[in-house]
Structure 1
């Protein structure tokens, strides 16, 4: 039995716990929040026995084996390193950290303490992404990858009225690239690895984060184009184009319909049934790594997380997106 604790009392933590319910090896033991009342309310809602308001106290607790982190992006690295230094396994929400130095510090802490560190990127562990990997050879030489995740943020209306919530606050390492662009980039890295070069552009907001942006990535004999936005919607599917056909994906972040359209006009539906909540598969992967004594996922690996962080860091450099976390103690 893996005794689980959570950091974060927001909707995503609630979703994760709901998704993980069928996994019998996981049992929720504790929740953490800096706000004691929020911690108590969340514990009452989720059935957790313990609450913590001091992270170091929770890290030292011998009642906890593993922690799911769903705090603001800027806090991921510091919290994860502290927990891993006390022997806790960590599943950390995407993006794994604010920058490559933080990601590297997390990876080093995981290895030094012999614990599992995995980025909670649901997309690449879903049945339909696995179907894409299995059938990719059918479309011949790959020439282009296209993905977009453009979703008008429910918090953007408040932003336009003068209230800067976390989603548009650089202090929390937020913005369109970090929150949504990562969903386009991580699958690209899992499928095709590290690009040779990239060119990024962004539409910047007055708060200092990007409202939307695009990246063109070069792989020598193929290109990748990704688009992301928190200030507009898009209804265009993702696509992987090969010389013999194209794989059309309804939504790169949560693919539920995937088909191959061949040059000769044939259409092959390769959709796999998804019987569980989308976040179930990441929870299951993490749990199995722990129970089997493995220390990182083959799919959501340390290397894939680091390359994705490298791409986002270069895109931020090119477009002038800077975070206070870039000057954190882990980055010195």
Structure 2
């Protein structure tokens, strides 16, 4: 994979040290805004990136780049991913894929028509712990209840209350608790159970953005509660309950750091199977393989998953009376 990276923000700064551990991914281009170009050149030097661009069309014109990684603010995902696909590039796009499901449908149609890889960078789906949880669900008997809580008081919330609206709390930029934190819970649950039959989002809304909220997903035989909060904090964990036992996920649903299986008789098994310390390593190893092998079967399966997640997002936003973008 010869990669063009879009953005120089926190996610890119977290990504770059990790990706150097995957030697088959070459860092060819880095796109920066003019105001961040000094930071971009520092990253270029530290991580041996071939070229810094401040013009997206110039990056897309670089024929040596075969894949674009969209790591920009949420509201820009659709536009920049579309331009990359139109230029014949494979696309890896950060979560949330788009702001509404219709945008993802358009991107999917474009990608498949051109036989290009389009895939969402969503960490939990590729982690070994998550895959083991999927396999071990049958040990729990009939599933009944799932609760996911990802609550993390945002350092930007105080600024928001004081009147400074940064991207994390800006509805026009796709901010809010649902899209930032609860989106991981949605991926976690939909990856286990598929699409729900009913979605309800009860949110704490300030200045047209959800600072926290409770998402209720109804399945034929399972009830799910997903909590995401940027205005308060709590122990971060998830539980999956069945008639024969339970699984407790320690830590947030984007890292799935470890989990504990508990049987009715009280026996516990602690498991920590992730092979890499960095949460993004497993997904990018998978993406490199998918692109190298042009594995469109996996691409279509993952797109179907992302579509189901975006359908939940659409219903949740509508339920809470929120509009992003």
Deviation track 1:77-132 (CA, whole Å, cap 9, x = no partner) reads 11011101212111111000110111111111211221111111101211111110
Whether contact under 8 Å (2:127, 2:274) holds in the other structure is no
Deviation at 1:167, TM superposition (A): 0.7
Please name the residue that 1:223 is paired with. Answer: 223
- Deviation of 1:239 (Å): 0.6
Q: Contact between 1:118 and 1:297, CA under 8 Å: does it hold in 2?
A: no
Instruction: Tell me by how many angstroms 1:300 deviates.
Output: 7.1
- Tell me what 1:330 maps to: none
Residue 238 of structure 2 is aligned to residue 244 of structure 1: no
1:140–1:243 contact (8 Å) kept in structure 2:
yes
- CA RMSD after TM alignment: 1.6
Q: Aligned partners of 1:89 and 1:47: how far apart in 2?
A: 22
| Residues 269-278 or 286-295, more deviating | 269-278
In the alignment, structure 1 segments of 5+ residues that lack a partner are 325-332
Indicate how the Cα distance of structure 1 residues 148 and 170 shifts in structure 2: closer, same or farther if over 3 A, else same.
same
Q: Distance in 2 between matches of 1:131 and 1:170?
A: 36
Aligned to 1:199, the other structure's residue is in SS state: strand
Matched with 2:56 is 55
- 8 Å CA contact retained: 1:289, 1:296: no
Q: Which deviates more, 45-54 or 257-266?
A: 45-54
2:145 aligned with 1:148: no
1:198-209 matches, cutoff 5 A: 198-206=199-207, 208-209=208-209
| TM-score, normalised relative to structure 1 | 0.93
| Structure 2 alignment gaps of length 5 or more | none
**Aligned 1:85-100 pairs, distance under 5 A:** 85-100=86-101
CA shift at 1:38, angstroms? 4.2
Q: Which residue number in structure 2 is paired with residue 212 of structure 1? A: 212
Separation in 2 of the partners of 1:25 and 1:263?
46
Determine if contact 2:17/2:47 at 8 Å carries over to the other structure.
Answer: no
- Scaled by the length of structure 2, what TM-score is found? 0.95
Q: 1:297, 1:69 → 2: CA distance?
A: 20
What is the number of equivalent residue pairs in this alignment? 322
Alignment of structure 1 residues 133-212 onto 2, 5 Å: 133-206=134-207, 208-212=208-212
Does the CA contact (< 8 Å) of 1:84 and 1:110 recur in 2? Answer: yes
8 Å CA contact retained: 1:149, 1:184: yes
Distance of aligned partners of 1:62 and 1:298 in 2 relative to their CA distance in 1, 3 Å threshold: closer
Instruction: Look up the SS of the partner of 2:296 in the other structure.
Output: coil
Instruction: Give the Å deviation of 1:40.
Output: 3.0
Distance 1:149 1:170, change over 3 A: same
Residue 296 of structure 1: how far off its partner (Å): 5.7
Structure 1 residue 161, shift from structure 2 partner: 1.9
- Matching of residues 1-332 of structure 1 within 5 Å: 2-35=1-34, 36-206=37-207, 208-251=208-251, 252-295=253-296, 297=298, 301-324=302-325
Which aligned runs of 4 or more in structure 1 are off by greater than 4 angstroms?
Answer: none
Aligned equivalents of 2:164 and 2:25: distance in 1? 39
Secondary structure (helix, strand or coil) at the match of 1:231 reads coil
* Contact kept? 2:65, 2:89, Cα under 8 Å: yes
Match of 1:225, SS state, is strand
Deviation at residue 270 of structure 1 after TM alignment:
3.2
Range with bigger deviation, 293-302 or 97-106: 293-302
